[in-house]
Each structure stands twice: as C-alpha cells, then as structure tokens.
C-alpha cells in the first residue's frame, strides 16, 4: 500500500488530477483517516457521492455530521455547507492543490471551486453531468425522453443551513437549470437531475458523471 501511495503522490505532481471512488479505494474508516487526508491535497479535483460525502465529513468533523441522519442523500443546504467546509479545510492547507469538488446524488449535482481558480465552465460541466445521469440511467444516450424523467427539485431552494441570509434562499426556475451562488472565496454551481423513473443502466453511472463534468470543464494552470 505504501509503495502504491508513494507512486500516486509522485504521479499527481505531474498531472491535473481528479480523484474519485473514495469508498472503494479505502475500505475501512481507519484507512480513510490515514490516507484520504494525505492524498487529497495532492490532487486538483475530487468527486464524491453521498456515501463518500458523509464518510469524509464524519471523519473530519464537518458540519451536520453527527450520529443521526448519516445515510441517504443530504439536502442541498446541508451538502453546500459540507462542501464549503471541505474545500476550506482541504484546499487551503499549505501546498494543497485542491480547488474543485464535484458532488453528485440522485436528484441534483453540485460543484464548488475556489476563487480565484484555474477551473472554467463549471456551470456547463455540472449541467452536462446531470444530463448524462438522466440519459444513461434510462439507456437513452441518443436523446432526452421527457416522458421517462421527473424533476424532483422544485420551488424554493435553501442553499445553506448555517446562514439565514436571504441570498441563500432561491426559487428554482426550470428555464434556467443551473443555479450559481457565492460564499467567501468560493463559487457554487447546482443543477437538478431529471431523474429516470425506471432506471435500467446504473453500473458505472458515477464514473460517467464525473468524467462528463471534467470533459466540459476548462482548466488553466
């Protein structure tokens, strides 16, 4: 394990690196604790699903991560608070390269980047990720079929549980499917997913989402 870790750390110095599959790479809580927080500052971007978000938050002592409710998808507001804490904690340590986190769950995707940041086109990237989630789950990669999909994010959307500021409450407009907001030294982009009513192809979906988001991202070192 140590040899592989050293090799990985040397490799990421040379590349713009995105890290995902945290739960499958690190099987135990102790392994996560010892290795995740060493590797992440050496990559430019990480991708998380809800299981991985909860694990990292719990281990690192992030907001909202008590013993209750540590399973299932987090609300948009809670995910926003956790991602803000995570990028602040892991991206601002001395020498850290981390400037982007892409989180995906069933009903929405969210990307946060540091300001200033080498990342570009994040609104397009998060929107592309939600599209591939819908079309691949329904096995309709050629086109979006509205009759097979449903939108589960509607109406008023709260963007933080830690602030009562009115700027963190928005009304979702289906005609403008990407919501963008700012927190200190960070920019967030959110896009709801058109959820496949009867999914038939879910294997590899997380990889497809992250890869598509990266494909549509711009990066300027």
Enumerate the active-site residues: 207
Q: How far is residue 28 from each of residues 3, 7, 21, 62, measured CA to CA in Å?
A: 19, 21, 13, 19
Rounded distance between C-alpha atoms, residue 165 and residue 179, angstroms: 17
Tokens of 119: 């990342």
Beta bridge partners of 195: 150
Rounded distance between C-alpha atoms, residue 7 and residue 14, angstroms: 12
Phi-psi region of 154 (alpha: psi -120 to 50; beta: other; left: phi over 0): beta
């Amino acid at each position: 394990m140590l040899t592989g870790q050293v090799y990985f750390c040397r490799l990421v110095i040379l590349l713009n690196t995105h890290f995902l599959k945290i739960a499958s790479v690190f099987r135990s809580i102790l392994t996560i604790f010892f290795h995740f927080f060493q590797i992440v500052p050496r990559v430019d971007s990480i991708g998380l699903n809800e299981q991985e978000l909860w694990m990292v938050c719990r281990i690192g002592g992030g907001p909202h991560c008590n013993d209750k409710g540590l399973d299932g998808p987090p609300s948009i507001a809670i995910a926003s608070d956790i991602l803000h804490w995570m990028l602040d904690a892991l991206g601002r340590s001395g020498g850290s390269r981390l400037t982007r986190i892409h989180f995906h769950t069933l009903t929405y995707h969210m990307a946060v980047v540091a300001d200033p940041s080498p990342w570009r086109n994040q609104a397009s990237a998060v929107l592309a990720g939600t599209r591939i989630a819908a079309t691949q789950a329904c096995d309709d990669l050629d086109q979006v079929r509205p009759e097979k999909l449903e939108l589960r994010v509607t109406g008023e959307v709260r963007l933080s549980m830690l602030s009562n500021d009115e700027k963190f409450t928005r009304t979702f407009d289906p005609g403008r499917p990407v919501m963008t907001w700012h927190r200190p030294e960070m920019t967030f982009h959110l896009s709801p997913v058109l959820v496949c009513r009867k999914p038939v192809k879910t294997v590899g979906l997380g990889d497809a989402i992250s890869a598509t988001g990266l494909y549509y991202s711009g990066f300027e070192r």
